[in-house]
């Protein structure tokens, strides 16, 4: 057994002449325990919120998006895109035509983004999970229907259960000069009943999703599309498939994955988590550096032992390693127990949802969400180990100061 570790372990559990040393050591361990537990729980909660938010976004956001590098639309009937449509790796291939328009309901009106989608869009079975009211229906026996974002619905007062009131959508006609006699002649006006209301996030909630055929009539676009949305089958690497498409299409198109489509969202989620980690780490550092006081008092308590060890041939390096190991054992004991208790608490919260956020929501549970990432546990352990080593190394230097004078006094 390592000599330094053996002696440090004996010092850790042996009775000290001053009871305050035991108390300070216990306080140091408890501080690290509480800090490690809090850090693991907070990071797991942030993982849970991130998972919930991204799952909602991914309901509408495809795994791969193809857009024109220049302009708003492109021809989807090229040879490669037609071949891509029938690729066996693809689960859904959705043609999208979108443009801003004016939406009117009753006496209110508001600009909105009209998004026309082809039939493959409805292969996504999780669409109903983001619905506040109604159902995600774009076509029925009466014709096309629209699904409205919650922000637009709240402003216009849209009632999806009212069969008599429809949305009026105004879009400027292409290639028509403005008419001073009757301005309405410059617009294509179509009516469409709302079938439901969805809610995801502000960027999407001012959206009206309609069938592609309706969008073509509204926007006067017979062939071209604004984008192609692709979702791949289970087991297919979406990132590799995206790279293949990118290589084939060249610089005329932009091919984006989910991160690139929602770059701002991913940046915000990542930065918030790191800021919380940094703040809690500072609190943890304060608890860790309590070990300096504990080791300092231990060194004073063991001055005679240090002198005896040195007289028996123990070098300064060995003596420093003893107290370094002592400090590491105190802090890492607190850290390990903190990780275990944090994991247990998160596991219970994940299964039973004891801690509530307050008001319930139709889209997410009112219990704080939890998601585990093994990297978070490693990060907390490495953080505690690093700062524990620094604090213990500083304190262990006291053990060899004036050691020659101690020998003479002894």
Q: What is the mean pLDDT of residues 195-217?
A: 87
Q: Is the same domain home to 99 and 229? A: yes
Q: Is the same domain home to 47 and 147? A: no
Q: Is the pLDDT of residue 388 over 60?
A: yes
Q: Is the same domain home to 273 and 395? A: yes
Are 387 and 284 a contacting pair, CB within 8 Å? yes
Q: Tell which residue, 40, 3, 8, has the closest CA to residue 330.
A: 8
Q: What is the CA radius of gyration of the chain?
A: 32
**217 confidence band (pLDDT: 50, 70, 90):** very high
Q: Which of 256-265, 287-296, 353-362, 372-381 has the lowest average pLDDT?
A: 353-362
Q: Is the same domain home to 183 and 270? A: no
Residue 1's pLDDT is 46
Provide the domain count of the chain: 2
Q: Is the same domain home to 51 and 109? A: no
Q: What is the mean pLDDT of residues 374-390?
A: 90
Residue 254's pLDDT is 93
**106 confidence band (pLDDT: 50, 70, 90):** confident
Q: Which of 239, 258, 277 is the last residue of a domain?
A: 258
Are 209 and 117 a contacting pair, CB within 8 Å? yes
User: Is 274 buried (19+), middle (13-18) or exposed (0-12) by CB count in 10 A?
Assistant: exposed
**360 confidence band (pLDDT: 50, 70, 90):** low
Who has greater pLDDT, 345 or 322?
345
Q: What is the mean pLDDT of residues 38-43?
A: 91
The secondary structure of residue 364, as a DSSP letter, is S
Q: Is the same domain home to 7 and 83? A: no
Count CB neighbours of 109 within 10 A: 14
CA separation for the pair 219, 187 (Å, rounded)? 10
Are 171 and 77 a contacting pair, CB within 8 Å? no
Q: What is the mean pLDDT of residues 250-279?
A: 85
User: Is 192 buried (19+), middle (13-18) or exposed (0-12) by CB count in 10 A?
Assistant: buried
How far is the first Cα of the chain from the last one, in angstroms, to the nearest whole number?
29
CA distances from 173 to 169, 214, 220, 269, 294 (A): 12, 15, 7, 41, 79
The whole-chain average pLDDT of the chain stands at 82
Q: What is the mean pLDDT of residues 114-142?
A: 88
**269 confidence band (pLDDT: 50, 70, 90):** confident
Q: CA torsion 132→136→137→138, rounded to 10°? A: 110
Residue 283's pLDDT is 83
Q: Is the same domain home to 364 and 403? A: yes
Q: Which of 258, 280, 297 is the last residue of a domain?
A: 258
Tokens of 122: 């409805």
Percent of the chain with pLDDT over 70: 81
Q: Which of 258, 274, 292 is the last residue of a domain?
A: 258
CA separation for the pair 222, 146 (Å, rounded)? 20
Q: Is the same domain home to 303 and 377? A: yes
Q: What are phi and psi of 128, to 5 degrees?
A: -65, -15
> What residues does 306 pair with on adjacent strands?
none
Q: Is the same domain home to 362 and 308? A: yes
Q: Is the pLDDT of residue 305 over 60?
A: yes
Are 266 and 158 a contacting pair, CB within 8 Å? no
CA distances from 29 to 19, 21, 56, 332, 388 (A): 16, 12, 41, 8, 11
Q: What is the mean pLDDT of residues 389-410?
A: 64
Q: What is the mean pLDDT of residues 32-50?
A: 89
User: Is 383 buried (19+), middle (13-18) or exposed (0-12) by CB count in 10 A?
Assistant: buried
Kindly provide the residue ranges of all beta strands, DSSP E only, lying in 249-290, ordered along the sequence: 253-256
Residue 401's pLDDT is 59
Q: Is the same domain home to 232 and 328? A: no
Tokens of 100: 């801003």
Who has greater pLDDT, 244 or 391?
244
Q: Is the same domain home to 46 and 98? A: no
Residue 144's pLDDT is 94
CA separation for the pair 102, 91 (Å, rounded)? 33
Residue 183's pLDDT is 63
Tell me which residue range forms the domain holding 296: 3-57+266-409
**362 confidence band (pLDDT: 50, 70, 90):** very low
Q: Is the same domain home to 244 and 356? A: no
**116 confidence band (pLDDT: 50, 70, 90):** very high
Are 256 and 64 a contacting pair, CB within 8 Å? yes
């Amino acid at each position: 057994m390592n000599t330094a570790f053996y002696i440090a372990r004996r010092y850790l559990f042996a009775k000290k002449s001053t009871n305050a040393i035991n108390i300070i050591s216990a306080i140091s361990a408890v501080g690290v325990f509480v800090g490690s537990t809090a850090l693991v729980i907070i990071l797991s909660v942030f993982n849970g919120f991130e998972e919930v938010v991204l799952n909602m976004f991914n309901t509408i956001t495809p795994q791969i998006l193809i857009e024109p590098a220049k302009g708003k639309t492109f021809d989807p009937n090229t040879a490669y895109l037609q071949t891509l449509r029938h690729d066996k790796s693809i689960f859904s291939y959705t043609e999208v035509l979108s443009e801003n328009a004016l939406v009117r309901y009753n006496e209110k009106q508001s600009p909105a983004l009209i998004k026309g989608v082809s039939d493959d869009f409805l292969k996504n079975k999780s669409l109903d999970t983001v619905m506040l009211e109604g159902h995600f229906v774009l076509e029925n026996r009466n014709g096309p229907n629209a699904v409205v974002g919650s922000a637009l619905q709240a402003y216009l007062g849209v009632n999806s259960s009212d069969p008599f009131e429809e949305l009026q959508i105004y879009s400027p006609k292409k290639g028509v000069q403005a008419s001073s006699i009757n301005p309405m002649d410059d617009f294509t006006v179509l009516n469409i009943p709302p079938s439901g209301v969805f809610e995801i996030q502000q960027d999407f909630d001012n959206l009206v999703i309609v069938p592609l055929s309706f969008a073509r009539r509204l926007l006067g676009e017979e062939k071209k599309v604004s984008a192609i949305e692709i979702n791949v089958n289970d087991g297919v690497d979406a990132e590799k498939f995206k790279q293949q498409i990118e290589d084939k299409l060249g610089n005329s198109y932009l091919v984006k994955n989910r991160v690139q489509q929602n770059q701002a969202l991913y940046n915000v989620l990542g930065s918030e988590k790191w800021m919380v980690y940094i703040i809690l780490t500072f609190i943890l550092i304060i608890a860790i550096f309590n070990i300096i006081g504990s080791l300092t008092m231990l060194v004073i308590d063991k001055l005679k032992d240090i002198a005896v060890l040195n007289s028996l041939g123990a070098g300064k390096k060995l003596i420093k390693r003893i107290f370094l190991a002592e400090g590491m054992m105190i802090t890492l004991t607190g850290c390990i127990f903190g990780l275990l208790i944090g994991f247990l608490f998160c596991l219970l919260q994940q299964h039973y949802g004891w801690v509530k956020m307050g008001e319930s929501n139709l889209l997410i549970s009112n219990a704080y969400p939890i998601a585990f990432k093994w990297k978070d546990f490693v990060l907390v352990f490495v953080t505690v180990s690093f700062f524990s080593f620094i604090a213990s190394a500083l304190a262990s230097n006291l053990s060899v100061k004036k050691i020659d004078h101690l020998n003479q006094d002894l």
